[in-house]
Structure 1
Amino acid sequence: MNENQYLHYNHHVGHWAHTRCEGNIRYLKDTPFCFSVGRQLSDSMSDFNTTDFTNPSTFILLGVAGLEGAHGWISIPFCVMYIVAIFGNITILYIVNRESSLHEPMYYFLCMLAVSDLALSTSIVPKTLSIFWFNSREIDFASCFTQMYLVHCFLVIESGIFAAMAFDRYVAICNPLRHSTILTNSVVAKICLAVVLRGFMLILPIPIMGSRWPYCKTNIVPHTYCKHFSVVSLACADNSPTSYYSVCVTFFVHSVDGFLIAVSYTQILRVIFRLPTKDARLKAFGTCGSHLCALSTLYIPDLSVSLMQRIDSNVSLPVLILMANVKLLVPPTLHPIFYGLMTKQIRDRLLLIVTQKRV
């Protein structure tokens, strides 16, 4: 969301707040809130320096402004994706924990991914659904920055997990006889710890810097969750340090992890194409298929949203808000489906559990 879009959005929401309260009987119960929202936005747009608004104890999340009447319908796919993500990832954890034959590096990383997916989706969906269903728009100041931290932190962790999984596939295919000696339980634990600590430490400065700034413009956040840019744009201080830092972190994480993944799969493809039989090549591809599909769900939505924002600045704000949510919700929803359907060991164990319960 660029600055022009954001200013246009605030103007739109201010007008929306007044007209909703004055013209629709269904919103009469929210009249104080609506007039407050409209007045705050109008004041902030007309003169930031004369507003009496100071550091808020809460922020107000607008949800998808402009599509308020469709919030109930929008909540349906959000709720379905969240249920699938919760059920699917818990199932993955249950199967791997129950089957001792799956206690291998690949499945340890998969469990770590499942935990990250659960944390990522849970950090945003419950609050989003409360906005859609109960009009519960307020979020505590500290909770807002905690949510911001968790979202960005687990995105960085997931990127690191995919790099670790690519390395695991590289060792398994290129050095199969040394796989168990290279990726011991101790090495896997150290990799997991490094991935988690990297996420925690790299993202920590973002909410720390943002929470220390004065917020005297408005407490209206034009989003369904506390997105970094949407919140820090409300500060009365220069937010360029955290903006630059966020860009640097994003570039660093994507560059390092992308390079490791690319190198791993380049070596994997070289080995696969040297295999003597077609069946052997297909089997080797099969061990990487679920990982590649999961990678696509993480990077393709993110790339699509970034390109949409940069190529077409006239994309409507509701569309951008929905896309920002989709890129966070699609990976946790599809990861367990890909690994459950495309990983033979997990698929077989799941079918065995289901058939045993039926008997």
Structure 2
Amino acid sequence: MMYTNVTTITFFVITGFPGLPPKYYALVSVLLFLLFLAIVGGNALIIGVITYERTLHKPSYIIFFYLAMTDISFGIVTLPKVIAVYWWNDVMSSFGACFAQMYFVHSLGAIHSLILLIMALDRFAAVWFPLRYPVVMTNKMVSIACNLCVGLTFIRMVGIVLHALSLPYCNQNVITQCYCDHLSVTQLGCGENVVYVKTVALGNALVSLLAPLSFIVFSYSSIFVAVLKMSHTNRRYKVLSTCTPQILITCLYYVPRCFVYLSHNLGFSLGTDTRVVITMMYSLIPAVVNPVIYCFKTKDIKEVLMKRFKNGRLN
């Protein structure tokens, strides 16, 4: 097949869930809309509580604030378009809009991974260096670290998207996914550089995923070692109770992603429908569940919410 070096595609077609029968379109659109409301509402609640409750102006909760910001941003970037696909049959996405969505999808994913790394570092310092923790992990230092993660990641992802833009797109424009991501878009590219662009993006994705994960595993493993060495049961319980929310949030983010990467590399073939469903689950379910973990597994936030609720009822 002969390919031209000029992009002739002006828009992409978003299929959503490829094998979904039309009779379920209305139901899926309603479910996705409720999911969107849950992501926006739950994470906005966490952002508001941490912002306005001065007792929560601590390093751990600043990290929760940034995680909630990435979750709510990811929901806003991805869900409205796929809801429109099933609600109004608006399947077309302009060329520029698709690449803009790709940029934010991968940027927010990488930022989330780095903030989980900062969270693990925070717990590691609190357990292993409790006397130096107030000096090292200050609100200012955590805010600077999170802002650097955000800024540097947004700068780094510009190169990945521009690399994908260097490919000509001249024959196919159907994206079998619920949103524009790098893999779904670049596999529609033509020319001899497609494999190279995919390889560079894969290397970048593995570094973004595995480098933070390596330290996160090391950090929480060290914390468990420290817990086993503690002689007081109350001290053990306190450490584990403070680390449990972070571990749950980290597992929700990494376990499904690792499953997809391992299954692909071990030769397990996932159908298109299965791949799309799993991608949506590991992309959006953590954003829904995280606020619940913050509220019910984090003592300070739970106490603040209960206090506000009781004061509201009394008033």
TM-score range normalised by the length of the shorter chain: over 0.9
The correspondence for 2:273, drawn from 309, 318, 321, is 318
Residue of structure 1 in register with 2:18 after alignment: 65
Residue of structure 2 in register with 1:19 after alignment: none
Paired-residue identity, %:
26
Q: How does 1:1-359 map to 2 (within 5 A)?
A: 48-49=1-2, 55-69=8-22, 70-237=24-191, 238-311=193-266, 314-359=269-314
Q: CA deviation at 1:194?
A: 2.3
Q: CA deviation at 1:169?
A: 0.8
> Is residue 112–residue 161 contact of structure 1 (8 Å, CA) maintained in 2?
yes
Q: CA deviation at 1:66?
A: 2.3
Per-residue displacement from partner, 1:177-196 (whole Å, max 9, x unpaired)?
Answer: 22221112332232112211
Gaps of 5+ in 1: 1-47
- Partner Cα separation in structure 2 for residue 245 and residue 336 of structure 1: 34
Which segment drifts farther, 192-201 or 219-228? 192-201
- Partner Cα separation in structure 1 for residue 217 and residue 259 of structure 2: 20
Q: C-alpha root-mean-square deviation of aligned residues, in Å?
A: 2.0
Residue of structure 2 in register with 1:20 after alignment: none
- Partner Cα separation in structure 2 for residue 271 and residue 65 of structure 1: 48
Which segment drifts farther, 257-266 or 157-166? 257-266
- Partner Cα separation in structure 2 for residue 50 and residue 294 of structure 1: 45
Per-residue displacement from partner, 1:102-160 (whole Å, max 9, x unpaired)?
Answer: 10111111101100111111111010100011100111111101101111111110110
Distance 1:303 1:225, change over 3 A: same
> Is residue 60–residue 119 contact of structure 2 (8 Å, CA) maintained in 1?
yes
Higher gyration radius (CA): 1
- Partner Cα separation in structure 1 for residue 25 and residue 274 of structure 2: 13
- Partner Cα separation in structure 1 for residue 297 and residue 305 of structure 2: 12
- Partner Cα separation in structure 1 for residue 261 and residue 284 of structure 2: 16
Q: CA deviation at 1:268?
A: 1.6
Which segment drifts farther, 201-210 or 87-96? 201-210
Q: CA deviation at 1:259?
A: 2.3
> Is residue 202–residue 249 contact of structure 1 (8 Å, CA) maintained in 2?
no
> Is residue 26–residue 87 contact of structure 2 (8 Å, CA) maintained in 1?
yes
Per-residue displacement from partner, 1:281-302 (whole Å, max 9, x unpaired)?
Answer: 1111000000000011101121
| Secondary structure at the counterpart of residue 49 of structure 1 | coil
| AA aligned opposite 1:55 | T
- Partner Cα separation in structure 1 for residue 256 and residue 33 of structure 2: 19
Per-residue displacement from partner, 1:47-68 (whole Å, max 9, x unpaired)?
Answer: x5389x9522211111222214
| Secondary structure at the counterpart of residue 178 of structure 2 | coil
- Partner Cα separation in structure 1 for residue 233 and residue 286 of structure 2: 31
- Partner Cα separation in structure 1 for residue 131 and residue 116 of structure 2: 23
> Is residue 36–residue 79 contact of structure 2 (8 Å, CA) maintained in 1?
yes
Which segment drifts farther, 92-101 or 287-296? 92-101
| Secondary structure at the counterpart of residue 139 of structure 1 | strand
Q: CA deviation at 1:312?
A: 6.1
Which segment drifts farther, 158-167 or 261-270? 261-270
- Partner Cα separation in structure 2 for residue 213 and residue 315 of structure 1: 27
| AA aligned opposite 1:61 | I
> Is residue 65–residue 318 contact of structure 1 (8 Å, CA) maintained in 2?
yes
Aligned length: 311
| AA aligned opposite 2:174 | I
> Is residue 9–residue 171 contact of structure 2 (8 Å, CA) maintained in 1?
no
| Secondary structure at the counterpart of residue 93 of structure 2 | strand
Q: CA deviation at 1:311?
A: 4.9
> Is residue 64–residue 223 contact of structure 1 (8 Å, CA) maintained in 2?
yes
